[in-house]
Structure 1
């Protein structure tokens, strides 16, 4: 998708049935080594304070950079690829790279990227001062004695590069491109559904496109907007009546939680209360979730703005 939500291009990929893998037999570890959302916000705040250049790069077919340490055989989809028919009649392919939907794929890619940072470009990373951030190990930084330098923020295969000036950023892009097949996306505009806007007053981040998407997903695009996310006097109680769709309720909570964590902290109180009932929601709980969607409809363009050091530090609290 482009920044305005229009379709940029269509992509297809082979996805295996990873859900059939059994823990302890087919895989042992699975996790997503990604930069934390609040790390990204912190870096954006630093960028606003120090007027940093922010560029974005994407690793093309990232998981294909990961080499498997075991034999993986795939049953062929019908009439899609050339295949070899074995004596038992099965058509199989031997995979020598990571395949999408395999549990371990993200770990293998992360280990590959880390090893590449430490070996293929060891001179650049270590000799030239790159350091791994101990608080968030998906962040790398390099600064000289004069304060010039760059920071790399890695989210699986998406990279944000923060630099003092464009020259430092371009140097970093060159060494990254020497290790991987990279796509230079220029100045950062959208990362993880979060739109980044730089202006004279600082840096603003918002999720209007993402909110519009989830409103359509849950059929609230034509709802009547409201001005508050929840009635603070409302009492929510455990469900003792009929059960509404637990799956649909959990999906809605998950989508709203991502908006809350990223840019919409104003719905944190509402989500804190509603998420307690995900295992057994009632129609009353769903009505309150609906109010949050209606509030987001009214405030779709709300977001966060980082404007450097304020002359007065202000805190707003909606405690009741």
Structure 2
């Protein structure tokens, strides 16, 4: 706690002064964390002073709060490029990242617990951002982005959390997820120079080659990268008390017949919602779970016993394969997509379910399973709308690829197994039955 206070004071986070009239200070509290490595061992003990930002008033204490973070598709995308180009990959951490953001609003905070002043009416006038403030993450991101742009980086239009630098044969890329950074480079000398620059602007800790990022274990070998969430999976099983359960070899019955009234209501709906939320994050490296979690997510408002039993079946499946993940070994840098759809599968709304799976050089990077926003009148139309959604993702991925200096010269391949949808895509004449999908037809072409 003392070290944290010294760091805040050295950074000029606040000044001590008397509380002006008609001003209300926000509170603060201490938060203690144990940071662990991928194998579960303790890395360090951490004490953070948090402002009680929930007491802030919009328009008075803060204005804008939104801050972009890296899309997890971008993370997989960048790692695939690293393997293909044989670039170096490092992980950086910013000490007290939010404290570097400049604060424009007039914010007062009560003195930290355990530290007192000689005058009772004195408070902390915040000069820089502090953890817990509504605008803290936005201010930190703005400060960091400005620092990179001044160095010569360009911000990607496809993902604003990706910054690229190119000078001759030297290429850098920085991916920002709050205060965790992935830095890839093709030149170790230039990387050292850039790291020194970052350390002068912020207090940077070099964590070495990336091995554990956002709960994802990264194992690099001569043949590629293996991504898995073994520790996260075991944590879910431990919390649910399923470590000693009997394993299952497939996550869900093929004809599950789940509906809104599957059994009696469960006594603790919050437990179901928390479990589904944690499983949703597991789909980062487990694409085979995407459809199952999509089904379970439809019953968050009023879960019943049948839904809970199905969720436990997914946990039993995880029990037999906690180390499963995805392997990135691109043979080329060409995009290929597979799309599919069913027809009117939802018994309540009659909406169709679409899904796509996209690879970069054979390495899986993007997948999705969701309901269509409109009702399709035919099986071909449902397939065609799945193609339109996949094309949108392909165009975005091609734009993201160009941000890294890689240009997709050839065509992107989109595979669909419905002949009627393929004929509609290739036929320049719109008939009576396809005129309501005219925009999708033009878009795909």
**TM-score when normalising by structure 2:** 0.64
- Quick check: 1:114 aligned with 2:145? yes
User: What's the secondary structure of 1:231's corresponding residue?
Assistant: coil
Task: Pick from 185, 199, 202 the counterpart of residue 224 of structure 2.
Answer: 202
Q: Deviations over 1:251-308 (max 9, x none)?
A: 1111111111x11111001001000111111121111111111211211101111112
User: What's the secondary structure of 1:216's corresponding residue?
Assistant: helix
- Quick check: 1:144 aligned with 2:167? yes
Cα separation, partners in 2 of 1:22 and 1:289, compared to 1, 3 Å:
farther
Task: Pick from 33, 39, 46 the counterpart of residue 81 of structure 2.
Answer: 46
> 1:92: how far off?
3.3
Measure, in 1, the Cα distance between the counterparts of 2:209 and 2:299: 41
Task: Pick from 317, 321, 327 the counterpart of residue 299 of structure 1.
Answer: 321
- CA contact 1:21–1:27 (8 Å) conserved in 2: yes
- Quick check: 1:227 aligned with 2:249? yes
> 1:318: how far off?
10
Structure with more of its chain in strand, by fraction: 2
Greater RCO, CA 8 A, separation 6+ = 1
Task: Pick from 273, 279, 283 the counterpart of residue 305 of structure 2.
Answer: 283
Corresponding residue number in structure 2 for 1:179:
201
User: What's the secondary structure of 2:45's corresponding residue?
Assistant: coil
- CA contact 2:91–2:208 (8 Å) conserved in 1: yes
Q: Deviations over 1:25-44 (max 9, x none)?
A: 54343334211111010000
Cα separation, partners in 2 of 1:219 and 1:31, compared to 1, 3 Å:
farther
Q: Deviations over 1:85-120 (max 9, x none)?
A: 445xxx6333333222222110111111122233xx
- CA contact 2:84–2:332 (8 Å) conserved in 1: no
Measure, in 2, the Cα distance between the counterparts of 1:304 and 1:17: 40
- Give the number of the structure whose alpha-carbon radius of gyration is greater: 2
> 1:317: how far off?
9.4
Cα separation, partners in 2 of 1:295 and 1:310, compared to 1, 3 Å:
farther
Q: In angstroms, what is the RMSD of aligned CA positions?
A: 2.6
User: What's the secondary structure of 2:50's corresponding residue?
Assistant: coil
- Quick check: 1:263 aligned with 2:285? yes
User: What's the secondary structure of 2:37's corresponding residue?
Assistant: coil
- CA contact 1:244–1:281 (8 Å) conserved in 2: no
Cα separation, partners in 2 of 1:107 and 1:138, compared to 1, 3 Å:
same
Name the stretch that deviates more: 228-237 or 30-39: 30-39
**TM-score when normalising by structure 1:** 0.87
> 1:201: how far off?
1.4
Corresponding residue number in structure 1 for 2:352:
none
Corresponding residue number in structure 1 for 2:136:
105
Measure, in 1, the Cα distance between the counterparts of 2:218 and 2:63: 37
> 1:225: how far off?
1.8
Q: Deviations over 1:139-197 (max 9, x none)?
A: 11122344x31111111111111112323322321222221110011111111011111
- Quick check: 1:5 aligned with 2:40? yes
User: What's the secondary structure of 2:99's corresponding residue?
Assistant: helix
Measure, in 2, the Cα distance between the counterparts of 1:300 and 1:316: 26
User: What's the secondary structure of 2:298's corresponding residue?
Assistant: helix
Residue correspondences, number: 306
